[in-house]
Amino acid sequence: MKLATYRDGSRDGQLVVVSRDLATAHYATGIAHRLQQVLDDWGFLSPQLQDLYDALNQGRGRHTFSFDPRQCLAPLPRAYQWVEGAAYPSLHASNLALAPGSGDHFLGACDVLRCPSEALGIDFCAGLAAITADVPLGSTPAQALDGVRLLALANSTHLRSLEPQGLATAQSTPAVAFSPVAITLDELGDSWDRGRVQLPLHTSWNGRKVGMCDAGPEMQQHFGQLVAHLCATRAVRSGSIVGSGPLANAGVGGKKQLQWPKGYHCIADKRAMETLQSGQPSTAYLQFGDTVRIEMKGPDGLSLFGAIDQEIMPLAHIQPT
């Protein structure tokens, strides 16, 4: 299934089922109003949503409409918890532990990202995220993987000047943006392999592609391991979101020729590479007016999650209400 949350003026929006090609959608109101309801009662509600999804894809939906990602909140607009790992090789960070973040407010895929100042070192971080069911305390990685219900793309923006030791803080991590839709694992087919997505992620900055790293082969901890890491000391409740951190493929070459073979999905990695090469970074962080687009396509070339497509703007552009 592919699920999204449409704006309706409330904080949690309205759950919609989206067709496989992301062309049409159908409100799920007769089944559930919000995604959290579905996560809390997955065994009963998800088969009903699956029936609606099948009808939608077969052209049998009774009240379908054209799907518009600009009308989407995050698939789960508020979560009981959001934590982010560092599951991929990195030049700027080596800690694989999960870092807690704020789950009280997420951004939709096309929402503007507003920041107080360019001097804060605004950095995109393009990765994947798993939305969980209840996962008991002490679960093994295999058991924790069974608790992954949905996957989405995530852009977990970091303000690097507020991370002097490279460690994220509450202030340094603005609201995370998610793809328009979250998908069940079966949508990936053979591309879902033992907790990893075996597909490239595409990241563009101001229309120029800067990253196309493979999400699977170099994920050092798969999603089951990331969730199990949380479960080592506490139970995880349905509606928790666990991020992979920015994708990366290992750098190659000596010090002077060091490069990410398939680009980068956060600017901090690019700057760290430049520092190793020449002693100082040359790539600036995001500026106001910059755009970031993050998307993953299936083997058939179709977008799986829809695209995160954000513009960076200052707080001064907020209109009074």
For the chain, the domains span 2-67, 76-316
CA separation for the pair 110, 291 (Å, rounded)? 10
For position 317, what pLDDT does the model report?
52
Instruction: Show the tokens assigned to 157.
Output: 């923006």
Instruction: Show the tokens assigned to 73.
Output: 């909140």
CA 78 to chain centre: 14
For position 252, what pLDDT does the model report?
57
Q: Cβ of 275: how many Cβ atoms within 10 Å? A: 14
In three-state secondary structure terms, 148 is: strand
CA separation for the pair 202, 309 (Å, rounded)? 12
CA separation for the pair 229, 32 (Å, rounded)? 31
For position 256, what pLDDT does the model report?
46
Q: Which CATH number fits domain 76-316: 3.90.850.10, 3.10.180.10, 1.10.10.10, 3.40.50.150?
A: 3.90.850.10
Instruction: Show the tokens assigned to 96.
Output: 């694989």
Whether 74 and 178 have beta carbons less than 8 Å apart is answered as yes
For position 51, what pLDDT does the model report?
96
Whether 52 and 61 have beta carbons less than 8 Å apart is answered as yes
Q: What is the signed CA dihedral for 90, 94, 95, 98, rounded to 10 degrees?
A: 0
Distance in Å from the first CA to the final CA of the chain? 37
CA separation for the pair 144, 149 (Å, rounded)? 11
**Neighbouring C-alpha atoms within 13 Å toward the C-beta of 129:** 31
Q: Which residue in the block uniquely carries the two structure tokens 């000047």?
A: 161
For position 318, what pLDDT does the model report?
52
Residues near 264 by Cβ (< 8 Å), separated by ≥ 6?
203, 210, 211, 213, 246, 248, 270, 273
Eight-class DSSP state of 194: T
For position 321, what pLDDT does the model report?
47
CA separation for the pair 292, 313 (Å, rounded)? 12
Eight-class DSSP state of 53: H
Count Cβ neighbours within 10 Å for each residue of 73-102 and write b for 16 or more, e otherwise.
Answer: bbbbbbbbbbbbbbbbbbbbbeebebbebe
**Phi/psi class of residue 226: alpha, beta or left (left: φ > 0; alpha: ψ in -120 to 50)?**
alpha
Whether 4 and 23 have beta carbons less than 8 Å apart is answered as no
One digit per residue, the tens of pLDDT, for the chain of length 321 reads 999 999 999 999 999 999 999 999 999 999 999 999 999 999 999 999 999 999 999 998 789 999 999 999 999 999 999 999 889 987 666 555 678 888 899 999 999 999 999 999 999 999 999 999 999 999 999 999 999 999 999 999 999 998 876 667 777 888 899 999 999 999 999 999 999 999 999 999 999 999 999 999 899 999 999 999 999 999 999 999 999 999 998 765 554 455 667 899 999 999 988 888 888 999 999 999 999 999 999 999 999 999 999 999 998 755 554
Distances (CA, A) of 199 to 10, 16, 68, 212, 216: 35, 26, 25, 9, 7
Instruction: Show the tokens assigned to 254.
Output: 């000596």
Instruction: Show the tokens assigned to 196.
Output: 């990893």
